[in-house]
Structure 1
C-alpha cells in the first residue's frame, strides 16, 4: 500500500538507505512498494535488485517537486513507463525548464496528485489518481464521492524509519536550507508520521474506506518492472551493427596494427594478439574495443595527442590499435589483469587528452553514438567530510569560535567530554555514509544499447553534457562498462611544446618515438639527477628524491618508481626496502620462498597491483577472481565491507591451509594491505613513464619552448614563478608583459619570452583578450593616448598595466605615465570612441624627470604578478649573506651542521607515527639550485614556515642513498628591503 517511499537519494530529505528501506518493509510485512525519490531516479535500479533479492515486488517512480512543493507522483507500470518518467524529468533538466503544474499524459506511467491539491476528478486523465492521506479521510465524511471513488488511492509517504531518524531529517533540512534547526518550518520537512506503519495499522486507518485500499492494491498489481534480471551487458552491443562484422573488423585492425608495431615476422606478438582476440570475442568485448579505437581514430585525425593508460594498457591488441603506447610484450604485462573470464568487474580504458581538447572528443562521442544513448557518468558525494561538523554546528546555532574549536584536531581530547560535541558527533555518525549531492565523474562516458533513460533520468551539470544520476558502482552493478575520457595538464605541456618548437625553430618532432627516447643517455642522465621540473609525474620533490636515490637511468626503473612513490608504500617502509634491495639485489631477505619466486624481478617488494594479486594467489591459495576483488577492495573500489572482510579471512585461512607460518603470514598481509590501496597497475605506471619520457625529451632538447608550454597549460606541481625561473635557467630572456608584444599567454620568439596578460592580478578578462586582438586588427599602439582610446580602458585598469611595466614601449617612466593617465582620465571611465571625425590635440605638460628604481619595480611585480622579475628575491634581502654552503657541495658536509639561505618553494606536512606533525621543505639556493629540508615536530612549532620568501636555515646535513638534505635545527624568515614608495 506504499505508493510514495523515499530513500536517502531524496537528498537531504530521506534518511534510509535502499537496503534499510527494504529491511524495514519486510519487518512491517509489506510485499510490494513504489520508490519515488524527489526529482530523481538514482535508486530505482538498486531498489529493484534489493527487493528481488528479498522476495519483494519493486515498482519504480519519481516524486516531482517544484520549490519544495509536491506537484505529483509518477509511477511506472513497466519498463516503458520508467522511461517515460525519466524522459519527462530529463527534458526539464536539460532544457532547464521548471516542472509544470500537471504531468504530461503518459502511456505507460500513472500519476498521483495529492487530494489536498484541490484538483477536480473530472480534470483527471485515465492514468491519473488522487492520493489521500489517512489524516485527510475525515474530509470525505458526508460528501458525495461517487465521481472520485475510482480515483482515490491511499497515500502514506515514507521518509524516515523512526523518531531518531525524524530528528536527523530535521538536521538534514536545516543543512539543505542553510538555516537554524528552529527555523525549519513544517512546510520545509516531512511529518513525523511519514514512515512505515506497523503491520495492519494502515489497513485499520482506511477500514471505513476499504475501496481506497482496493484501488491502491489494484494500481500496484498492474505494475510490473519488466527489466532483465541477473548479470546483463547494457553497453552498445555492436560497432558495425553485426557481431560477426565486429569480430572480423577487430581482427583486421589488430593484424594491421601488429605489423605497424612489431613488423611482419614477430611470432610471439602474433600468438599474443590471436589469444587476446579469442578472449575478447568470447567475452563479447569486440564492440568495446572498436568504439575505443573509433574515438582514438577521430582524435588522431584532429591532431590531438592522447595517452591510453590504466589496466587497458595490459592488452597487446590495444597497443596494436594505438589505444595505448605501452608495449605489453616488452614489459611482460598480464592481459588477464584487464580482461579474463573470471573477472567480475568491467574493464575500462583510461584515455587522457589535453584539457583543451577533451571536450571536443566527448562531443564527438555524443554525436557519433547519439545523445539518446550516451551520457556522462555521475558521482555521489557523501557527508563523510568532517566539514559537515561545521554545518551541524551552524544548524544548532553555535557561535563560529565554538565550531572552530570542535573542528580543531589539536583539541580532540578536550572535545571528547564536551556534551555539545558528543551530540554533534552522534548526528555526524548517522549522516556519515548518506548521499549529500550528485556531481559529475572525472571522465566516465556510457554508451548504451538502449536509450539510457530506461535506467536513469539525466542531469545537466555545469559541463553542459547529459549526466546519469548514479555513480560508477551503480553503473557496474546495472551492467554498464564505462569509457574514461580524461584530461590532464601534462598532455597540454607536450602538445603545446611540440607546436612551439615547430613555430620557433621550424622543426617538426615525432613525440611518439618513445623507444628512441628511452635509449638516450642525455635523457637518462637528467632522470638520474632528478632534473625533471615541469615533467609529467616526475617533478615533485618526493619523486625527484626517489629518482636520485635509485639512480634511475632507464624506463623499467622509472615504471617501478611511478608505483612505489604512492603514499602508502612510503609509509609502510616498502619504498625504502625497494631502494635498498635495488642497490644490493644479492642480499635481499625474502620473507618466504613464494615471495622469492613471485617477486624476484622487483627485489622482494610488491611494486604493482599485479604483484598483490600474485601473492594472494600463490601465497594464500586464493583464486584469481577473489584476489582481484580483494585488491580492488583495498583500493576503495569495492563497497561491501562484509564481502571484503570475508575475503580477508579467506586470505588468512588459505595461507594456514597451505602451512604458511602465522608470523610470516601476518607480515605478508601487512605488506599486501598497506601497498594495495595505493599502488598502480604495472600498465598504468608504464603509461605514466612513457609520458614522463616525452616530457623529459622536450625539456632536454627544447627547454625554453617546453617551459613556455608548462606555463601556458596551468603549470604543474609548483607555483608559476618557479617555472619562470626554470625558463630563465634554460637561457631564455624573460620580459614583462608589453601591450605591443604580449599575447594572452606567454609567447616566445628565438630566446625572447614575453609574459602574457593572463597572470596580471586585477586585469579584467575582457582586456586580456581585447589588447592583442585590437593590436592584430589595427596595428601597434602609438602612445598612451592611442592605447586608451582604442581599448576604452578605465583609469584603474590602465594603472595596473603601467605599474606592471606593460606600457614601457612609450619610452616614459611609470611615474610619468601615471601622471599622464590621471590627467587624461581623472576618475572617470572613458567611453570607447567607435569613430572620430578628427583628432583634437591634447594639451601637453612638462613634467620633471620621474624615475623608477628597480626596487620599486620589483614591488610592483610582486603585487601584480606574484613574483619579481626586475630583481630576484635574493636581491630584495636586507642582508648580503647567502649562506656558508650551496647545494652543489652539500653532499660533502654530511654529518655537519651548516648555515644556508634558501628561497621557499613548497612544503609538505605529514603525520609521524606518534601522530605529531612533521614537515618537508623545498628551497632554492642563491645559485638557483634545489635543496630539501626536514623539520621535526620538536623544532618546527618554534621555528615555523611563514610563507613565501627567503629563510636562514641552520641544520645538520644527512644523506640517504646518495641524496643530501638538511635536518633543520633553527629556521627564520629573512627581512626584505622596505618598499621605497611607502618609506
Structure 2
C-alpha cells in the first residue's frame, strides 16, 4: 500500500460548491484507515481550525491548505475579458506557513477581491515561507497553458513556482475525473516532470463524500447560480467522480503514475501543523501616569464610582458602607487575580466615551449586571445589592472563564462607539466577526424544489407540513427548555404521513427529500455577525484570517464567534437596541413641556404605570407587548419592578408552566409555603416559586453550605443534566446540609426540588436590567402617551407594518394624528398640544435628504407661504418630480395651498421649471424682478386647473404614502348605516362567547386564498372599520359562495362569530352582503368589561352613580373575569341607560373599565 493521501478537498466552506462537511471528511478518512487528510477550500480558511481540531481528535494528521485564486497580472487589476484568476493549491508546513496562509487569504479578500478573493505573485513572493504548493486543477495556470498548447509559458511558470517555494516545496498535480482535458494535462505534467525533476502528486478534486451525492452537489451549484437542473446552458458538475475515493480506487485511476500516489504521503508528512491557540490576550490599555498598573487604576475608579453611586451610605450609613466595600473588594480581588482588570478598563473606557458623547447605554445585559464593580464603573446601571444579584453568576472564581459583557447602545449611534474602538486600538487590531447562513430545513426544501422545478403550490404545501423546531431559552437562559429533538428533513419525513405520500411518488419528489437531507445544515453564505467585534493585542492577521464582507465592505474575521477566543482575541458585543433610542427620543419630547424631566429620576411605584400594565395595555412596552404577556399582566397585576422581573423571567419556554402558581400565590389564592424557614428570604420576592438561577445558587449556599462559586457549578451541571457530576455534588450537598444541622431528608428533598429549576431558571441579572427598561417605557406610555407614541412612530419609520400598527394604537387611545405640514413637520414625529404631527421621514418616498433640505430652508428663510415659495426656498437638488408628487399626495401643502391636490400634481413639471429659472436668475444676479415691490409669484405663474380627485383617490394616496387617512375615511358615506347595522365595534372587541353572532361593516384588505390539506379552497382577509380591524376567516363553503364579493378595498357587511386564537380575535364569517343589505339592529344593551381585582367598592358606587345620571332604554351587562378564566356576564335589571356615543366614551375612561360597547 502506498499510503495515498487526499490533498485536494473542498468542504461546504467552499460556499455553495463543496457539498461535504468537515466531519464527513474526517469520518471517511478514518473509515479508509488514512493517517493524513487535507482541506483546501476555495480562497479561504473558514474551516481550518474546525478541521484541525476534528483531525486531531480522530488521530489524523491535518494538512491545512487553501486553493487560492491568483490574479493574472496583479490583484488590483480587474480584467473585463479573459481569465480573472487561476487556481493554485497552498499547504501550510508549519506555524510560519499557517501565518502566511492567513496573510495571503486575508489580502486576497481585502485587496484583491474581483468575483473571487485574489492574490498575486507579489504577495506570494512576500509570504511563501513555510508553504508548499501544487499546480491545482484544470483552472490552474500551468494546466491552462498545457491545454492551450503554450509549452513555453507552462515551463516558465513551473520553474518560477519551484524557485519561489524552494526545492521540494512545489509539486505538479494530475487528476482523472474522466474529463478529456485532464489526459492532456497528465501528459504535459509528465513532460514537465522529466524536464525539471519536480515531483507529481495525484489528487481527486473532492467536492462530495460519496458517488451517490453527485446529484446533491449538482443541485447545490444550481442553488448558488439560481438555475434549474434541466437548464442545459447552466454551470454544472462535469463528472460524478469528484468524491472521496479509497486508495484502491485512486490506484486504479493512475496505473501509470504510482509515484504520484506515493508522493501525496511525502507531501503530507512534511506538514506538521498545530494551529496555535491561547487564552485571550488583552490589548495594552494606557493608564494615567499617576497609577502603577491596571489593577491600581481599576481600584481607584471603583472607589470613586462607589462614592457616586452610594452617597448616602458613605455619608450616614456605616453598616451599608461596610457591606458595599467588602463586596467591592472581593470582586476586585477575584477579577484581578484572574487577570481581568485590563478587560474591565477596556469596557469601561468605551462605555465612558459613549456616555460623555450622549450616546444612550443600556442598564446591563446578561450576568454582568451582577457585578458591583461594573455598577460602580457605570458599565452597568442596575444596583446588584438592591436586586440581590450575584457576582459569581457573572465571574466564577472556581470555574475560570472569560468575563463577557454584552453592551446595548442606542441603535442609531452604536456605530460611533465601534468607530471609537477602531480609532483607539487601530484598524489592523479590530474587526467584526463572520457568521454563516446555513440551509435550514424548510429553506433547503424550498431551494431544492425550485431547482427540480416542483410546482410552487406543492413546495409550499411541503414546507408547511414540516413541524416546527423546538424552541430554546434565549441567549441569556443558557440551557435548553426541554429534551425534544430538533426537527430535520429525515425526522419530518418520519413524523408526517403526508410528506411520506410525496416521497412515495418517487422521481423528483424522492430526489427532493434525499437531496435536501444531504444539503441540510450546510453553509449557504457568509456575512457579518450583527454585534460582535474582536480586539487584538497586535494586528489580527497574527491570530486569524480575515475577509471583507462584500455587502458592508467591513473587514471581519474568517473564524466564527464560537472559536475566536481560542485564537488569543477578546470578543465584545456591541448591540444596537431600539428601545434605548426610543427612550432618548421620548425624553427629548417630554422635556419640551416638562423641562427638568429625567428618566433616571422617575418614581418606581407610579400608580398609573402599574394600573396600565395590570390592564394588559402594554402595546409597544419593551419585553411586555406580546399577546401572551398581556394576558399574564392582566392576571398577575404587577405592583413592583420585582414583579416585572419575575414575569419577564417566567415568560419563556420551560418556566412558563409555573406562571399560574406564581399568580395564585401573589393574588393570595394559594398559600405560600417554603421547604424550610431559612429559605423564606430567598423565595419571598417570587411568592415561593423558584424563578431565577441566582435563587438556585443561594439555596445551595444556605442549605448545602456551598460557596456561590460551587453553587454556580452545581446549577450548570443540573441545567445540562450531567448525571455523573450531579450525583457527586448531591453527596456533597447532603453532607454539607447535615453539617449545618439540616436533616438528610430535607437536604435530598431540596436537591430534587432544585433540579428542574436549575434548567428552567432564568438569569435574574438579565431579567432585572431589561425589566427596568420595560418599566421606563411603560412609565412614559402611562404618563406621556402622545410623546410615547410619537417616539415609537419615529423609531419605526423604516417598518411600514409597525408604523401602521402604532398609528392605529395611538388613534385608538384618543391621540389625534395631524397630517404632514410643510410649516410644522420635522424629520420625525413630534408633539404639539397633545397631538402628534406626522414626520417628513415618515412619508414614503420622501427620503432623509429631502426632509433635511425642507427643514433647513424653513429655518433659514422662514415659513412657506405657498408651493411656489416652497420651491424657490428649498435647495432644488433635493427636489425632483417624484419627491414633489409624494409630498402632494401626502397632503404636505394642504395648509398653505388653496388649490386642490390634483391641480398641484397637474402642474408639477411647470412648477419645477418655473421655479428653477427663478433660482438661476437670483443666483446669477439677474433677479431684479425679485427686488421689485415683491412681485407676486402667483400672478407670474400660469396655472392649469384640474378637476379634483374623488374621495376614494384621496384615501388611496394617503394610505399609500402615510399609512393612514387624513382627509376622511373611506367609510364616511356609510357611517349612518354602520351605526344602525353593526353590533361589533372593531376598536372595542370583547372576549365574547363563540356562539354570539355579530354584524360588522367595513373595507376588505389583504385577501389571501389557499388550498387546505383536503384540497379545498378557503381564504383569510382583514376587515377595517372606523376604529380598528380584525382578521377574517372564510372556510371553504362560505368562500365558494361569497368569493365574488370578496375583493380588495370592497366595502361589505359581514355576519359571523368571534374566535380567540393565541389571544388574538378572529372573525369566522358566515355571510357577506352589500352594506345596504345588512340588517338594521336595534341596540338595547350596554356591555362593560371590568378589570379583574382592579375595582374597589368605591369604583362601583361611582360607576353606578354615573350610569344612573344617564337614563335611557339600554340594559346593562357587566363582564367579570371568573376564577376559571372565562367571562361571567351579569345583567342588572335595576339600571336602564342612554346608549349615545358620548356616554360610551366617558364610560371607557372610568376607573376599572377595560372596554365598553353596544349590542
Could you say which TM-score interval applies, normalised by the shorter chain? 0.7 to 0.9
Render the CA deviation track for 1:419-459: whole Å, top value 9, x for unaligned: 24333122212222222222222211112234332323223
Q: How many angstroms apart in 2 are the aligned matches of 1:923 and 1:616?
A: 56
Q: Could you tell me the TM-score, scaled by structure 1's length?
A: 0.81
- What pairs up with 1:732-751 in 2 under 5 angstroms? 733-751=816-834
Residue correspondences, number: 937
Q: How many angstroms apart in 1 are the aligned matches of 2:757 and 2:1001?
A: 40
Q: How many angstroms apart in 1 are the aligned matches of 2:686 and 2:967?
A: 50
Match of 1:353 in 2: 409
Q: Could you tell me the TM-score, scaled by structure 2's length?
A: 0.70
Render the CA deviation track for 1:780-826: whole Å, top value 9, x for unaligned: 44433444565475555434332322122443142563476168369
Match of 1:131 in 2: 172
Match of 1:269 in 2: 324
Change (3 A) 1:903 1:497: farther
Match of 1:456 in 2: 545
| Structure 1 residue matching 2:135: 3-state secondary structure | strand
Q: How many angstroms apart in 1 are the aligned matches of 2:809 and 2:35?
A: 69
Match of 2:716 in 1: 628
Tell me the CA shift for residue 55 of structure 1: 2.6
Counterpart contact for 1:857–1:870, Cα < 8 Å: yes
- What pairs up with 1:240-639 in 2 under 5 angstroms? 240=286, 245-262=293-310, 263-264=313-314, 265=318, 266-307=321-362, 308-343=364-399, 346-409=402-465, 412=499, 414-415=501-502, 417-419=504-506, 420-453=508-541, 454-475=543-564, 480-502=569-591, 504-505=592-593, 507-513=595-601, 516-566=602-652, 569-570=655-656, 573-584=657-668, 586-587=670-671, 601-603=685-687, 605-610=689-694, 624-625=712-713, 627-628=715-716, 631=719
| Structure 1 residue matching 2:350: 3-state secondary structure | helix
Counterpart contact for 1:34–1:60, Cα < 8 Å: yes
Tell me the CA shift for residue 316 of structure 1: 1.8
Tell me the CA shift for residue 555 of structure 1: 0.3
Correspondent of 2:920 among 828, 831, 835: 835
Change (3 A) 1:417 1:739: same
- What pairs up with 1:929-968 in 2 under 5 angstroms? none
Q: How many angstroms apart in 2 are the aligned matches of 1:973 and 1:666?
A: 61
| Structure 2 residue matching 1:462: 3-state secondary structure | coil
| Structure 2 residue matching 1:512: 3-state secondary structure | helix
Render the CA deviation track for 1:907-930: whole Å, top value 9, x for unaligned: 9x9xxxx9xxxx99999997x7x9
Counterpart contact for 2:430–2:533, Cα < 8 Å: yes
| Structure 1 residue matching 2:431: 3-state secondary structure | strand
Counterpart contact for 1:802–1:817, Cα < 8 Å: no
Counterpart contact for 2:105–2:545, Cα < 8 Å: no
Change (3 A) 1:756 1:153: same
| Structure 2 residue matching 1:386: 3-state secondary structure | helix
Change (3 A) 1:77 1:580: same
Counterpart contact for 1:234–1:449, Cα < 8 Å: no
Change (3 A) 1:322 1:936: farther
Match of 1:82 in 2: 98
Correspondent of 1:647 among 700, 714, 722: 722
Tell me the CA shift for residue 680 of structure 1: 4.3
Tell me the CA shift for residue 751 of structure 1: 4.3
Q: How many angstroms apart in 2 are the aligned matches of 1:976 and 1:594?
A: 69
Match of 1:16 in 2: 20
| Structure 2 residue matching 1:587: 3-state secondary structure | coil
Match of 2:893 in 1: 807
Q: How many angstroms apart in 2 are the aligned matches of 1:680 and 1:768?
A: 45
In the alignment, does 2:41 pair up with 1:37? yes
Tell me the CA shift for residue 881 of structure 1: 2.5
Q: How many angstroms apart in 2 are the aligned matches of 1:33 and 1:856?
A: 69
Q: How many angstroms apart in 2 are the aligned matches of 1:668 and 1:829?
A: 81
Match of 1:864 in 2: 961
Tell me the CA shift for residue 362 of structure 1: 1.0
Render the CA deviation track for 1:72-114: whole Å, top value 9, x for unaligned: 1222233333232222332342346332564521242334333
| Structure 2 residue matching 1:126: 3-state secondary structure | helix
Render the CA deviation track for 1:398-418: whole Å, top value 9, x for unaligned: 333443343343964753543
Gaps of at least 5 residues in structure 2 are 71-82, 137-141, 146-153, 177-182, 467-497, 735-743, 930-936, 1014-1018, 1078-1159
Counterpart contact for 1:489–1:714, Cα < 8 Å: no
| Structure 1 residue matching 2:41: 3-state secondary structure | strand
Match of 2:476 in 1: none
Match of 1:639 in 2: none
C-alpha RMSD over aligned residues: 5.1
Match of 2:979 in 1: 881
Higher mean C-alpha deviation, range 753-762 or range 36-45 = 753-762
Q: How many angstroms apart in 1 are the aligned matches of 2:413 and 2:530?
A: 15
| Structure 1 residue matching 2:353: 3-state secondary structure | helix
Change (3 A) 1:956 1:496: closer
Correspondent of 2:837 among 715, 739, 754: 754
Tell me the CA shift for residue 556 of structure 1: 0.2
Change (3 A) 1:893 1:729: closer
Change (3 A) 1:787 1:144: closer
In the alignment, does 2:306 pair up with 1:233? no
Counterpart contact for 2:536–2:570, Cα < 8 Å: no
Q: How many angstroms apart in 2 are the aligned matches of 1:856 and 1:583?
A: 54
Q: How many angstroms apart in 2 are the aligned matches of 1:888 and 1:186?
A: 55
Counterpart contact for 2:445–2:516, Cα < 8 Å: yes
Change (3 A) 1:386 1:149: same
Render the CA deviation track for 1:305-347: whole Å, top value 9, x for unaligned: 1112112112222112111112222222232222214547644
Q: How many angstroms apart in 2 are the aligned matches of 1:330 and 1:904?
A: 53
